[in-house]
Structure 1
C-alpha cells in the first residue's frame, strides 16, 4: 500500500513514518525544506518538498496514494498564532480537497484532546461537548469539521485525539516538564492529585496504523492515551526519575491559588501576557481538575493496546529522550 505522511519532521509524523517503513509500506513524505529529507530518503522513503500553506505540489504528492496520515500541525506554545489557522485549518482544507480530487481512499488525521477544552474534571469520552479554549484547540476543531465535511463527499476519514505525547524526539512536553523540575520546589494546587493522561509517541504511531486499516474506523474520532490513571504528581515524579532529579512538591491550597490569581491576573491582562489565561479563575479551575480521556472506543474499534504503560516504561522513555538531548548538545 502506498501512503503519504505529512508532518514527518514532528514527533508523531516521524514515528508514524518510521513505523510504516519498518512494516514495509511504500512511504511518501512531505517536507518543507530539502535538507529535511536526506535521512528519510536514506530509509527508502519517497521525499517531496512542499509546504501545506502553499500546496504547490500537493497533487503530485497525493497522486497514487491510498492512505494519507495527516500529522502536520502548528503546536503550542507559539507566538505565531496566525500559523494555527494557516497550517492546522487551511493546510488541512487544502490537503483534503486534493485527496478528494485525486481519489485517495482514506485520511487519518491527527487532532488533539485540546478540542474538549483541556481538563474537564470528568472522564472525557469522544461524545463530550467540543468547546476548545485555546487558539490551538480551536484550530484543531476546525480541522475536524473539515474532515467531517470531506467524509460527506466520499472520503474515508479517521480522527485521532492524542493527549500529552512523550518519547524520543519530543520537543514540547518533556522539555516543558524538565524546565518545571529545575525549580527547587514545584508548587501544585492540591498537591497535584488530579489526573493527567500521557502517551508514548510509539503508541500514537500504532494507533495511526490501526486507524488506516480498521473497517469500522471511518467517520469516527478516537482518544489516544496510554489508558492509565496517573496524577500530575505521579507524572512529574516519573519524569524526574528519568531525568535523575529529585522532585519536591509544594501543595498549594485552592484558596491560596485563587487569591494569588485574583491579584496577578489583572496585571498580566494589562501587560497582554499569554500567561494571563492560566491564572484566570477559569484557567486555575482547568489546571486543578482531572484531565482523563478513556480509550474504550479505540480499544474496541481499532484493537488499540498501548504498550508503554508501566512506570518503568515511562522512566525508560524519559531516559532515552535525555540521552538524545545530550547527544544533540554534544553534536
Structure 2
C-alpha cells in the first residue's frame, strides 16, 4: 500500500502527534488545516498543507487526491461549545469527509472516536460490545455516535474500509491549551476542580504515543477493517493519584471533594433545560458525571489480540514526560 495519508486535526494534539509519527515512518502526509491555524509544527519534509474545513465539503475530495488513507482526528472538545456545533462539526464534518473519501477513491478511513459513546449506567467493564449511550443527551458523545454510524454504514456499503478507535482520556507532551490535563491543571490552579466522591475511582487514560501507534496499525493491518477498538493504557491511576501528581509536580493545592449525589441532579437539571432549548451549551451532562465518578474499565484487549497493541508507557513515566509542558502553560498563564 502506498503510504500517503490525509489527516484532519493536524494542528491539534492527536493529529499533530500522528503526523509526526507518520512522517518518521516514511509516510507522505496531506494535512488539512484551517486558514488561520498555527502550522509551525507542520513544516517537516513529507508534509503538504491544504487549507480547508471539514464543515465545508467543497474541495475536500480534490485535497485527498492521491491519498489512500484518511485519519479523521478533528473534533470539538471541551464543554464551552454550543450543542448544535458539536453535531455540526463532529457528525456533519465526518459525513462531509466520507463523501469526499468516496469521490476520491480512498481505501481506508480511520476515525478517532471516544469512549464517551458508551452507556455507563450500571457499567463497570466496557469492551467494544457495550451498548451505546442512551441515558444522557451529552452532545459530544451523541455526535460521536452519529459519526461512527455514518462510517460503519460506508463500510457496509463497500465504499471503503473503516476502522474506529475509541480513546479514553488522552495525555502526554504536545497537548494544547484546553486539552485534558492542561484544562484540569488550570481548574486546580483556580480552585474550580473537585474530586467527585473522594477520587478513589480510576480514571482511564492513554498516553499519546500509544494511541498514535494504534491508529497507524488500524491503517496498515487488514484485520482492522470494519472493526472498533478501545484505546486505553494498561494501568490507570485514581483521580486522587492524578490530582496528587499534578499538585506535587506543579505546586498546586489538592482539590476538595464533592458528593456525587449532589452533582448528578445538577447534571440532570441542565440536560432538561437543554432539551427545552433554554441552554445553548451543556456545561455538565449525566454521562460526564458517570465517567468522572464511577470506576469503569475500558479494556484494550481486542486491539492487543488483533493488532498487537501494547501500552508502552505507564502512568508514572507518562506524567513525568507531561509535567514540563504543564509547567510551561502555568508560567504563560501567570504572566
**TM value normalised by structure 2:** 0.85
Structure 1's unaligned 5+ residue stretches are none
Match of 1:258 among 258, 261, 272: 261
Shift of 1:327: 7.3
The alignment of Structure 1 onto Structure 2 pairs a total of residues equal to 324
Give the SS at the match of 2:226: coil
Match of 2:97 among 73, 83, 95: 95
Q: 2:7: which partner in 1?
A: 5
Deviations 1:2-22 (A, max 9, x none): 111111111111110111111
Deviations 1:121-173 (A, max 9, x none): 41111100001531010000000000111101221100000111112223321
The 8 Å contact of residues 70 and 108 in structure 2, kept in 1 or not, is answered as yes
- d(CA) in 2 for partners of 1:319 and 1:267? 34
The 8 Å contact of residues 199 and 224 in structure 1, kept in 2 or not, is answered as yes
The structure-2 alpha-carbon separation of the partners of 1:219 and 1:191, relative to structure 1 and needing over 3 Å to count, comes to same
Q: Map of 1:238-277 to 2, 5 A cutoff?
A: 238-247=245-254, 250=257, 254=259, 257-258=260-261, 272=279, 277=284
Match of 1:314 among 307, 311, 318: 318
The structure-2 alpha-carbon separation of the partners of 1:130 and 1:330, relative to structure 1 and needing over 3 Å to count, comes to same
Deviations 1:83-125 (A, max 9, x none): 2122111111111112122211101100000001457541111
- d(CA) in 2 for partners of 1:89 and 1:263? 27
- d(CA) in 1 for partners of 2:239 and 2:125? 16
Pairing 1:294–2:293 present: no
Between 30-39 and 193-202, the greater mean CA deviation after superposition: 30-39
Pairing 1:152–2:159 present: no
Structure 2's unaligned 5+ residue stretches are none
Pairing 1:220–2:227 present: yes
- d(CA) in 2 for partners of 1:263 and 1:310? 32
Shift of 1:51: 0.7
Q: 1:73: which partner in 2?
A: 75
Pairing 1:205–2:212 present: yes
The structure-2 alpha-carbon separation of the partners of 1:182 and 1:64, relative to structure 1 and needing over 3 Å to count, comes to same
